[in-house]
Amino acid sequence: MRISDTSDLWWKTAVVYCLDVETYLDWNGDGVGDFAGLAQRLDHLADLGVTCLWLMPFYPTCERDDGYDITDFYAVDPRLGSLGDLVEVIRTANDRGIRVIADLVVNHTSVHHPWFESARTATDAPYRDFYVWRADEPPDTSDQVVFPDQEDSIWTRTEETGEWYLHRFYKEQPDLDVTNPAVRDEVAKIMGFWLQLGLSGFRVDAVPFFLETRRGDDERLPEPHQYMRSLRQFLTRRTGPAVLLGEVNLPYEEQVQFFGGPDGDELTMQFDFVGMQAMYLSLARCDAGALTTALQARPQVNPDSQWATFVRNHDELTLDKLSEDERQEVFAAFGPEERMQVYGRGLRRRLPPMLAGDPRRIRLVYSLMFSLPGTPVLFYGEEIGMGEELSADGRLAVRTPMQWDDSVNGGFSTADPDRLPGPVVSGGFSPEFVNVADQRRDPDSLLSYVKLLVRRYRESPELGWGSFEVLEQPHAAVLAHRCTWDDGALVALHNLGAEPCTVPLQLPDCAGAGLHDLLEEGAATVADDGSAELALDGYGHRWLRVVRPGSRRLL
C-alpha cells in the first residue's frame, strides 16, 4: 500500500493531543477556560504538529466528575461558550490540518439529567427503563466500585420508589441501560448530532462498562460486540473516515476483541494500557525486559486498526495490570508518598516530577512513545514538561491550568486565583520555571524536542504502518526495535539505564546499508556481514533510518 492510498486511514499516522477546554485558556477573564481561548491557541497545536485534537467533555455538567456527569448530551456547557464557538474551533482546526474528536460518554448520565430526574419519580415513569433498577436490597459490591475512596457500593437507593439504581462510578452518575433499544437509538442520535457539527469521531469512554450485561441472562444485551459493530457502521455511513478511539483497560487477549477481531470492524483504535504500565515498570527497574515482553505480546490487529501509545492521560496513571509486587516497585520509584498514589492502583503524578526533572530521562520516554508502533497521544502540557499539583483532589492533580507564560496564573487567566477551576502548579514546575513562552524561544527546550519528535514521526510511515520486531542485543537496559513498511525501515534504540553502552546488532537483510540518525547528526554503516555497532549514552536514544544504496528516502 502506498502513502497516497491511505488518506482515509488518517489515524494510522496521526498525532493526537488531549485537552480540557476548562483548563486550557480563559479568554473572557471569568476564571474558566473557554472555546474562544482554545481558538487562540490552535496555532500552538499546529506548530507542534498535532493532527487530531481530542476534547474532553464540554457538555453541561454538575461537575461531580470533572465533566463526565453530563446533564445534556446535545449542548455545550455555557461556561465554555456556545455551539457556535465550538463550530468555530472545529473550522479553524480543520483549516490548520487538525481534525477534532470528542469524548462520547454514554455509559451513564448525571443524576440531574432530565431522563433520570423523570425516571426516579415512579416505577412507571418516563425514561425509567433508560436506567438499571433492582427492587431487592443488593449484596455487598464494594469490590466492584471504580472509585473505592468515594463509594462502597455500585447500587444506590432512591427515596421516591425505594428501589436501587446501578452506578459503576459515582452515585451521581446512574448507568444507562444499553439493553434498551431506545437507549441505543439515543446513542446513535448523539453521535449523529456531533458528527453533523464537524467532529471526526469520538474517544469512547469506559467501553467494557458500556457494553456489559446489565440484567440477568434472560434480559441481556444481544451480542455486545455486534452492537459495537453497528456503531462503527453508523459512524462510517455518516462520515466515512472517522475514528472510534476506545478506552478498554483489559488484558490483551480480551482487549483485542474490541477491535472486532481480524475484520477490524469495531473500535478503530485502542489505548495500549498494558504496554504503558510495562513501560513504567521498565523505567523503575532501568531494565527494558517488561516493556519488551509486553510489546511482543501485543496481538496482531487488522491493518486498518491501530494501537494508541501514551505516557500519561487525564485519569490516574493506572498500574492495575501489574502484579502487587510490580506495582509496589513502581510506587517506590515514582510515587513513594501516599499522597502521590490513588485508589491503591495508580499514581496522580505527571512524568517530569516522577523522573526528578532529569531532561535525559524525560526525552528518552517521549522518544520511546513516538517510536513505538502505533499512534502517539499527548496530554496537554506534556509538550513543555508540566508537573502535577498534589494539593488538588484526586485525579485533578494532573488537570491543572495550562502554563502559557510566567505571569499570574501562568497566563491561563486574568481572574483571581480562587476563581480558577483548580490550583496552578506550584514549586519547581510552576509557570515561573515551566511555560510555553520561554520554551518557544529556546531551541534546547523540551517543547523544541517534542516538535522534532513529532516531525520525525510524521516523516516515518514505518511507525504507523509498518511491521514491528524486537532486535536481539545483549544489554538488559536497552530496547532495540525495528519497524518496516514497504521498502523503508527505521531502527530505534533506547537505553533505560544510566550507563553508556555499545549495542551490537545483526541486520542481515540490510548489509551495506547506511543507518542515518534522525534526531541528531550522526550515521553508521551495516557491514557486509549484516553487523552494526551503535553507541548509546546513559538514558540515550537514537532513531536510525535504513538507507540502502540508491535509496531516495528522506533523512
For 449-468, the pLDDT digits (tens) are: 999 999 999 999 999 999 99
Element (H, E) at 243: strand 243-246
User: Cα separations (Å) of 307 from 28, 126, 239, 343?
Assistant: 38, 41, 22, 26
Confidence tier at 3 by pLDDT (50, 70, 90)? very low
Mean pLDDT, all residues of the chain: 94
pLDDT tens for each residue of 25-71 = 999 999 999 999 999 999 999 999 999 999 999 999 998 988 999 99
Q: Give dist(CA 80, CA 216) in Å, integer.
A: 41
Q: How far is CA 106 from the centre of its chain?
A: 18
Q: 367, 453 in Cβ contact below 8 A?
A: yes
Q: Give dist(CA 171, CA 177) in Å, integer.
A: 15
pLDDT value at 370 more than 60: yes
Confidence tier at 217 by pLDDT (50, 70, 90)? very low
Cell for 92? 479553524
pLDDT of residue 221: 57
pLDDT value at 472 more than 60: yes
Q: Give dist(CA 388, CA 407) in Å, integer.
A: 18
For the segment 96-120, the average pLDDT, to the nearest whole number, is: 97
What SS3 state is found at 493? strand
Q: Give dist(CA 35, CA 260) in Å, integer.
A: 35
Q: Which residue, chain included where needed, has cell 425514561?
A: 127
By C-alpha distance, which of 312, 243, 239 is closest to 279? 312
Phi and psi, residue 308, nearest 5°: -110, 125
Confidence tier at 264 by pLDDT (50, 70, 90)? very high
Domains and CATH numbers, the chain: 3-107+178-457 (3.20.20.80), 114-166 (3.90.400.10), 466-547 (2.60.40.1180)
pLDDT tens for each residue of 225-261 = 899 999 999 999 999 899 999 999 999 999 999 999 8
Catalytic residues: 205, 247
Q: Give dist(CA 330, CA 343) in Å, integer.
A: 15
Q: Give dist(CA 355, CA 353) in Å, integer.
A: 5
For the segment 64-79, the average pLDDT, to the nearest whole number, is: 96
pLDDT of residue 4: 37
Q: 461, 450 in Cβ contact below 8 A?
A: no
Q: How far is CA 522 from the centre of its chain?
A: 33
Write the burial class of residue 510 (CB in 10 Å: 0-12 exposed, 13-18 middle, 19+ buried). Answer: buried
Range in 121-130, 152-161, 207-216 with the lowest mean pLDDT: 207-216
pLDDT value at 301 more than 60: yes
pLDDT value at 115 more than 90: yes
For the segment 536-553, the average pLDDT, to the nearest whole number, is: 89
DSSP notation for 129-194? GGB-EESSPP---GGG-S-TTT-S-SEEE-TTTS-EEE-SS-TTSPBB-TTSHHHHHHHHHHHHHH
For the segment 205-228, the average pLDDT, to the nearest whole number, is: 73
pLDDT value at 211 more than 90: no
Q: Give dist(CA 329, CA 395) in Å, integer.
A: 21
Cell for 521? 547528526
Length of the chain: 555
Residue 505, strand partner residues: 532
pLDDT value at 445 more than 90: yes
Residue 484, strand partner residues: 467, 489
Q: Backbone dihedral region of 67: left (phi > 0), alpha (psi from -120 to 50 degrees) or beta?
A: left
List Cβ neighbours of 486 (8 Å cut-off, separation of 6 or more): 1, 2, 461, 465
Under DSSP, the state recorded for 424 is P
Q: 169, 156 in Cβ contact below 8 A?
A: no
pLDDT of residue 219: 53
List Cβ neighbours of 177 (8 Å cut-off, separation of 6 or more): 129, 130, 131, 132, 183, 214, 215
Q: Give dist(CA 397, CA 240) in Å, integer.
A: 38
For the segment 546-555, the average pLDDT, to the nearest whole number, is: 75
pLDDT value at 1 more than 50: no
Q: 39, 24 in Cβ contact below 8 A?
A: no
List Cβ neighbours of 153 (8 Å cut-off, separation of 6 or more): 138, 140, 141, 142, 145
Sign of CA dihedral 179, 181, 186, 187: positive
Q: Give dist(CA 525, CA 547) in Å, integer.
A: 9
Positions of E strands within 321-456: 341-342, 346-347, 375-379
Whole-number percent of the chain with pLDDT over 70? 96
Quote the pTM value: 0.96
Whole-number percent of the chain with pLDDT over 90? 91
For the segment 527-536, the average pLDDT, to the nearest whole number, is: 97
Cell for 232? 462503527
For the segment 349-378, the average pLDDT, to the nearest whole number, is: 98
pLDDT value at 216 more than 60: no
Cell for 343? 485508589
